[in-house]
Structure 1
Amino acid sequence: MEIRKVQVTGGSSYIITLPKEWTKSLNIKKNDQLGLITQPNGTLLVTTEITGRQVQITKEFDVDNTTEPTCIYRCLIGAYIAGYTIIKIKSAKKMPLFVRTNVREFTDVTIGQEVVEETDTSIIIKDLLNPVEMPFNNTIQRMYIIVKNMHEDAISALKNGNKMLAEDVISRDNDVDRLHWLIARQYNMILRNANLAENMGVTLGMATNYLLISRIVERIGDHAVIIAKNVLNLIDKDIDKKIIDTVISTGNFALQIFKKSMESFLKEDIKASNENIESVKKLAPLYEEINTLALPQKGIMVISVGYIIESIGRTGEYAGDLSEVVINYLIGGKN
């Protein structure tokens, strides 16, 4: 840390000199303008980014030595989440077909990514989304609605033996993933550009809690998919109706905990969050009852019921974790 003395000029203006090495590294010259942003902890951020425009950062991939199709796809997702705004893919020879296929899949599952230039040996992907147009709070609420409906429909598919509904639940997982990746991306972009946080109306602490909430909601979505996949194994099977009824009631109870967790977040209600955490304990006896009922079942039925009840349990536990994050967010992280 460099220590600088504050000087006063004209009787009212406070002046502090800038480190020489820092000004040289950013090519700052006389009469250049700098932005000053007051942080929630009282510190002052000095930045050269004063236009409010998105900072453009580029990531390049050379695919000449890449033979594994999934590798380039994972690298593209990694670059997207890291916050790169331009992704360049190049090859010394004609671009392999699997790379072009992976690029198409990548632009399909991400938000705002489009191919803006393409030749036989190169592809350039650019981010066309203004992060300010996708506020964290709106994205979280959209994730919640999708995941809540996934869970409700997975339980409904079990109740009514609806194969198409269970399969639809599984397909919706991609929508949850792309929203979670967007929040992770925006969080990393804020780490690089404090102006973006100000433009989005959030602090770093708020962005961190949004990321934590997003991750929990995404995991609850994953368990809705597990429930739906195992419901497919039980459709048209001769399974005890009492088991089905108990699984449905337990699933609905776990869903209520999830709903209340999100409501306490949206309403900023610490008391409700705390009560919700306590309600998670009530799930344990219900698991034991279902496990006892399922023991006489055979083969795939007992295994699938086990997976379903485990995922219902994880849904309730994650909902409790969500309430804990909400309390932390409201007490400290929000500021």
Structure 2
Amino acid sequence: MEVRKLQLIGGSSYMVSLPKNWVKENQLRQGDDIYLQVEDSVITLYPKSFREFSRITSVQIDKLLRLDEKFVRRFIYALYLQGIDEIVISDDRINARMVSRIGEIVKDLIGMEIIDATEGKVVLKCLTSTDFDVYGVVRRMSQIIQSMIATIMEGIEKGDREALKDIENLEKDSDRLYLFAVRQEHRLVREFSSPSKWNELRLILGIRTVAKLIEEIADSLYNFSTYAVEMTPEELRKVRVYFERLGKIFDSLAKAYFNSDVELSEETIEELEELLLSNMDGGVYYRLAVETILSACRHMKSIGEIAFNKSVRESLREMKKSERMQSAKSIQ
């Protein structure tokens, strides 16, 4: 780390000289624009070329290693998750059938579409805004969980087993949103890699974890729905008690996380710990169904702990901010 002295210029302006090697490496000249990013007590400098390079999100693939659907799906998913906006695949082996398969693959990726396809070439492009709020994605995922719980409750109350089968579509929506959340997280991590953005970076990584836990909860609820269609009416009535509590707890959990409420976080953790001690006696499908509920509880408890830590961290940050303001006033 280099140390530079602050100099006073003209009686009212301050100046810090830039390292000569840094200026040369970035091919800067007198009069060139330098971007300043100010966050709390840290300033980060960016040459214009760096800001433009960081926005390059296109990749050219000259030949796929394999053409089987499993590999192609995993490969396209990986590029999507890295935040790539345009994928150009050139391969003589690409034909109409292959393009059709790729089209099916990208249906699971929010915003990604085939915009051009010819023999030997296919171009994929993400048409969704890159500024989409990752926090909003996780909020929507939590709403899907609430919808899944409500749909299951309605199916049990009305004895409508077809309603339980509709859970699969909601689970798929959750999967798509999770992939989108990871994509946005990767883009933001690149942007917030400087020390001035460490608070935001910590929040983003926490959101990624919460998104994964919500996706796991959706999987558990889907698994429950597959077992529920095989359960007796009596077993469904018994399991409804669990779901009624689960729905209320998750509502509180979502409020605790999004509002950074430390007290509500602690209350939901305690309720989930109590629910995890529930009795599982019953038939095979009943026990399997209850185990999926307990699995969802464990994931919810993890979210509760993240919400608790997030609330405490934000409280500390507000305290430090208040201290700095008080210190600045005393100097004046």
Taking structure 2 as the reference length, what is the TM-score of the superposition?
Answer: 0.83
Equivalent residues in 2 for 1:1-335, closer than 5 Å: 1-40=1-40, 42-48=41-47, 55-91=55-91, 93-97=92-96, 99-132=98-131, 134-194=132-192, 203-234=200-231, 239=232, 241=234, 243-286=235-278, 288=279, 291-292=280-281, 294=282, 297=283, 302=284, 304-332=285-313
Please tell me the root mean square deviation across aligned C-alpha atoms, in Å. 2.8
In 2, Cα distance between the equivalents of 1:83 and 1:214? 17
In 2, Cα distance between the equivalents of 1:64 and 1:279? 51
- SS of aligned partner of 1:18: coil
CA apart distance, 1:206: 2.6
The one-letter code matched in structure 2 to 1:258 is F
In 1, Cα distance between the equivalents of 2:114 and 2:39? 37
> Does the 8 Å CA contact 1:55/1:193 hold for their aligned counterparts?
no
> Does the 8 Å CA contact 2:156/2:237 hold for their aligned counterparts?
no
In 2, Cα distance between the equivalents of 1:49 and 1:155? 55
In 2, Cα distance between the equivalents of 1:55 and 1:21? 24
CA apart distance, 1:279: 1.0
Inter-CA distance 251–270: structure 2 relative to 1 (3 Å threshold): same
> Does the 8 Å CA contact 1:111/1:129 hold for their aligned counterparts?
yes
The one-letter code matched in structure 2 to 1:312 is I
> Does the 8 Å CA contact 1:69/1:98 hold for their aligned counterparts?
no
In 2, Cα distance between the equivalents of 1:37 and 1:107? 36
- SS of aligned partner of 2:291: helix
The one-letter code matched in structure 1 to 2:71 is C
Inter-CA distance 130–255: structure 2 relative to 1 (3 Å threshold): same
* Residue correspondences, number: 311
- SS of aligned partner of 1:5: coil
> Does the 8 Å CA contact 2:273/2:301 hold for their aligned counterparts?
no
What's the CA shift string for 1:213-250, capped at 9, x where partnerless? 2222111111111111112333xxxx371x32221101
**Runs (5+) with no aligned partner, structure 2:** 318-332
In 1, Cα distance between the equivalents of 2:267 and 2:5? 51
Inter-CA distance 209–152: structure 2 relative to 1 (3 Å threshold): same
CA apart distance, 1:51: 12
Identity of aligned residues (%): 20
- SS of aligned partner of 2:255: helix
CA apart distance, 1:212: 2.2
Bigger Cα displacement from structure 2, 50-59 vs 24-33: 50-59
What's the CA shift string for 1:115-158, capped at 9, x where partnerless? 333321222222222232x3233222221111111123234334
Greater relative contact order (Cα < 8 A, sep 6+): 1
CA apart distance, 1:63: 4.2
Inter-CA distance 110–284: structure 2 relative to 1 (3 Å threshold): closer
> Does the 8 Å CA contact 1:169/1:225 hold for their aligned counterparts?
yes
Taking structure 1 as the reference length, what is the TM-score of the superposition?
Answer: 0.82
> Does the 8 Å CA contact 1:255/1:315 hold for their aligned counterparts?
no
The one-letter code matched in structure 1 to 2:34 is L
> Does the 8 Å CA contact 1:170/1:229 hold for their aligned counterparts?
no
CA apart distance, 1:203: 2.3
In 1, Cα distance between the equivalents of 2:313 and 2:277? 34
- SS of aligned partner of 2:124: strand
Inter-CA distance 130–24: structure 2 relative to 1 (3 Å threshold): farther
In 2, Cα distance between the equivalents of 1:210 and 1:65? 34
Inter-CA distance 103–267: structure 2 relative to 1 (3 Å threshold): same
